[in-house]
Amino acid sequence: MAMKETGSIRVLLTEEQIQERIRQLGKQITRDYEGKTLLMVGILKGSCMFLCDLAKRVELDVRMDFMSVSSYGSQMTTSGKVQIKKDLENNIKGKDVLIIEDIIDSGMTMSKLLPLLREREPASLRVCTFLDKPSRRQVPLQADYTGFAVEDAFIVGYGLDYDEKYRQLPYVACLEG
């Protein structure tokens, strides 16, 4: 697909690499939640592609819900709170909840969101992130499932955007120049 570019983009993860890893994650999640109903909670909008492809590889009774929270570029600090822009439709009390995130960068979003969801008393609460930038962490946070660890670069594609662009790319790239 031709796209008008100012800088260039360098592919970091191909569509094949992504889909292969998602197959593995799907198997792992299927094993870990055997016999349970799994509520997959996608954090909009970045996790949309990952959630859809991952859900197809999870052989369980899967339910889906979505949340939108303030993220990159907001004035969030270690003392601040995450702002919920769109809340869940489901009551998660007693449910097995797996949060699906696009990328964990500073860790701030997740470290604020997790306690907030824990207050709602889910049976279990875990995090599955497509990408992880461990070198950027400002607060200690470890996802339960991680697709890929990536370098400290600005990542786009497969749901991740730069100014709302590039989300539809089937691969992951980093922006250069």
Under 8 Å between Cβ of 167 and 160 = yes
Q: Does 146 bind ligand IMP (CB under 6 A)?
A: no
Residues 48-87, interacting with Mg ion (CB under 5 A): 71
Q: Does 107 bind ligand IMP (CB under 6 A)?
A: yes
Using the minimum distance from each CB to ligand IMP, give the nearer residue, 22 or 108: 108
Q: Does 143 bind ligand IMP (CB under 6 A)?
A: no
Q: Does 70 bind ligand IMP (CB under 6 A)?
A: no
Active site positions, annotated: 105
> What is the helix (H) or strand (E) element at residue 28, kind and residue range?
helix 15-32
Under 8 Å between Cβ of 108 and 137 = no
Q: Which residues contact 61 (CB under 8 A, 6 or more apart)?
A: 36, 37, 38
Residue 83 Cβ, how far from Mg ion at the closest point, in Å? 13
Q: Does 129 bind Mg ion (CB under 5 A)?
A: no
Using the minimum distance from each CB to ligand IMP, give the nearer residue, 123 or 153: 153
Under 8 Å between Cβ of 24 and 15 = no
In the sheet that holds 37-44, the strands lie side by side as 84-86, 61-69, 37-44, 96-104, 124-132, 145-149
Q: Does 155 bind ligand IMP (CB under 6 A)?
A: yes
Residue 154 Cβ, how far from ligand IMP at the closest point, in Å? 5
Q: Does 46 bind Mg ion (CB under 5 A)?
A: yes
Type of residue numbered 42: G
Between the two ends of the chain, the Cα-to-Cα distance in Å is 21
Q: Which one of Mg ion, ligand IMP, none is in contact with 106 (Cβ closer than 5 to 8 A by kind)?
A: ligand IMP
Residue whose pair of structure tokens reads 């995450």 in the numeric block: 82
Contacting ligand IMP (CB under 6 A), which of 13, 160, 169, 172? 160
How many C-beta atoms lie closer than 10 Å to residue 145's C-beta?
A: 17
Contacting ligand IMP (CB under 6 A), which of 18, 22, 51, 71? 71
What residue ranges bind ligand IMP (CB under 6 A)?
Answer: 46, 71-72, 101-109, 154-155, 160
